[in-house]
Amino acid sequence: MTGNRSGRHFLQIPGPTNVPDRVLRAIQHPTIDHRGPRFQQLARDVLDRLRLIFKTDSPIVIFPSSGTGAWEAALVNTMSAGDKVLMYETGHFASLWYSLAERLGLDPQLIAGDWRSGVDADTIQGILERDSGHKIKAVCVVHNETSTGVTSDIPAVRHAIDSAGHSALLMVDTISSLASIDYRHDEWGVDVTVAGSQKGLMLPPGLGFNAVSEKALSAAEKATLPRAYWSWAEVLETNQTGFFPYTPATNLLMGLQEAIEMLLGEGLENVFSRHMRFGEATRRAVQAWGLELLCLNSLEFSNSLTAVVMPETINADDFRRIVLERFDMSLGNGLGQLAGKVFRIGHLGDFNDLMLMATLSGIEMTLDVSAVPHKKGGVQAAIDYIGTQAQA
C-alpha cells in the first residue's frame, strides 16, 4: 500500500485500542516535574479514583510497563522459588503467563484447555481438594482471553478455592476486560488483579497495574523471589506521599487521569452495557454470514472482542491483508495454534455504534471481494439488533 489514504485508519484489533482525542490532548501536555506538587496532586487523584475502576478499596500499584510486566510483578511479589502455581490454559496469553512463571523458577501446573472454552472451576476445585498440604500457592486465570474471545467466570473460581478450603491466592488477568466487562476485585475475592493501559482504559501501551489484597500483601512479606523494580513495597511506600520511587510515566498518567474521568462520566454500568451491545451485534453479524464463532459457550462470549473461525480453505491472515489493503482497517490475527485460522474483531474502548457498523461493513465487503464462502446480511443483522437496543 503506497501513498496517503484519505479518512481515518480503522484500528479494530483487540488492543492497543483507539485513543480518544481527549486522552491524546492530555498526554501531549508539557511534561511536569515528577517531584513537584502538581505531579503529587495528579498521582493522588489517579491512585484514588482508579480504585473505582477496579471496584476495590485495596491499593493499586502502577508500573511503567506492559501487561507482561504486571504479570511478573504479581508473581515475584508473592512467590518463592519452586512454589507451585495452578494455571488454566484458556488461550495464548494464559500460556504465556505460564511460560513466564516457569522462567521465574516457579513450578506451574497448566490445566489443558481447548482454546475455545473458559476456565472450568470444578477442575480447579478438584485439584485443590487433592492438595492437602496446600503446596499450591496461587491460582492464576485470565478473565477475558484476548486470543480467543472467551470470558471466564471469576466468582466461580473464587467459590472453587473456598469450597476446597484452600489457602491459594487468586490472581486474575484483566488486561482485555477491565473497563470493558464488569469486574469486581473486592466482591469477587481476587488477591491480585493484573491490568494494562492499552485496551479498556483507552491509553497507549505503557502502564501495568496490580490491585493487591491484604492477603497478597501478607504473602509478599514472606516471598523470596528476587524483586527490585517490580517491588510493591517500595512503590506503595512512596505512593503515600504522592510520588514514585523512580521516574514514572508522567504523561501517560496525565492521560490516565483523563481516561478515568471519561469512564466515570459515562458511568461504568453504561460502559459495560455499551460493550455488551457491540459484542452481541458483532456475533449476530458473524452468525448471519454463516461463519463460526471460536467461543463455543454463549455464556462465555466476550464483549471486548470476537474471534471468527475461517473456512479451512481460507487463510485468515490473507483475508486480513485484503481488509487492510482495500479498506485501511486492521483486524487482529490468530495467535499461537490459531495462527492463520481466525481473525479477531476488537470492539472495545473508545468505540461507538457507527464505528461498529463501519467495521462490520468492511468485513462483509472483503468477504465478497476475497470469495470467502458466506451468506449476505451480516451487517443488516447487526443494524437490526442495534436498532432494537436504541428503542429500548
Amino acid at 83: D
| Cβ–Cβ < 8 Å for 10, 326 | no
In this structure, how many other beta carbons lie within 10 angstroms of the beta carbon of residue 112?
Answer: 8
DSSP string spanning 266-288?
H-HHHHHHHHHHHHHHHHHHHHH
Whats the size of the chain, residue-wise? Answer: 392
Between the alpha carbon of residue 354 and those of residues 53, 322, 326, 387, the distances in Å are: 26, 22, 19, 12
Enumerate domains of the chain plus CATH numbers. 10-17+267-391 (3.90.1150.10), 22-264 (3.40.640.10)
pLDDT at 391: 62
Residue in 301, 389, 295, 391 with CA at minimum distance from that of residue 342: 295
Nearest C-alpha neighbor of 167 from the set 89, 86, 98, 110 = 86
pTM confidence score: 0.97
Q: What is the pLDDT of residues 256-272, one digit of tens each?
A: 999 999 999 999 999 99
- Looking at residue 378, what is its pLDDT? 98
Q: Rounded mean pLDDT of the chain?
A: 97
* 17: phi then psi, degrees, rounded to nearest 5: -100, 175
Return the SS3 of 224.
coil
DSSP 94-123: HHHHHHHHHHTT-EEEEEP--SSS---HHH
Ordered strands of the 107-111 beta sheet: 60-64, 207-212, 192-196, 169-173, 136-142, 84-88, 107-111
Report whether 136 contacts 168 (CB < 8 A).
Answer: yes
DSSP string over 18-38 = PPPHHHHHHHTSPP--TTSHH
List C-alpha distances in Å: 234 to 79, 227, 230, 238, 243.
17, 10, 9, 6, 11
Query: Which phi and psi (to 5°) does residue 211 adopt?
Result: -90, 130
Per-residue pLDDT of the chain (392 residues; tens, 9 = 90+): 456 789 999 999 999 999 999 999 999 999 999 999 999 999 999 999 999 999 999 999 999 999 999 999 999 999 999 999 999 999 999 999 999 999 999 999 999 999 999 999 999 999 999 999 999 999 999 999 999 999 999 999 999 999 999 999 999 999 999 999 999 999 999 999 999 999 999 999 999 999 999 999 999 999 999 999 999 999 999 999 999 999 999 999 999 999 999 999 999 999 999 999 999 999 999 999 999 999 999 999 999 999 999 999 999 999 999 999 999 999 999 999 999 999 999 999 999 999 999 999 999 999 999 999 999 999 999 999 999 986 65
Residue 16, preceding peptide bond in cis (omega within 30° of 0): yes
Measuring CA to CA, which residue among 7, 13, 6 is closest to residue 351?
13
Cα-Cα-Cα-Cα dihedral sign, residues 336, 339, 345, 346: positive
The three-class DSSP label of residue 60 is strand
Quick one: pLDDT at residue 390?
Answer: 66
Percent of the chain with pLDDT over 70: 98
Residue 1's pLDDT is what?
Answer: 47
Write down the pLDDT at residue 5: 85
pLDDT in tens, 25-35: 999 999 999 99
Distances (CA, A) of 189 to 58, 162, 212, 213, 374: 11, 10, 11, 9, 44
With cell 466461580, the residue in question is 156
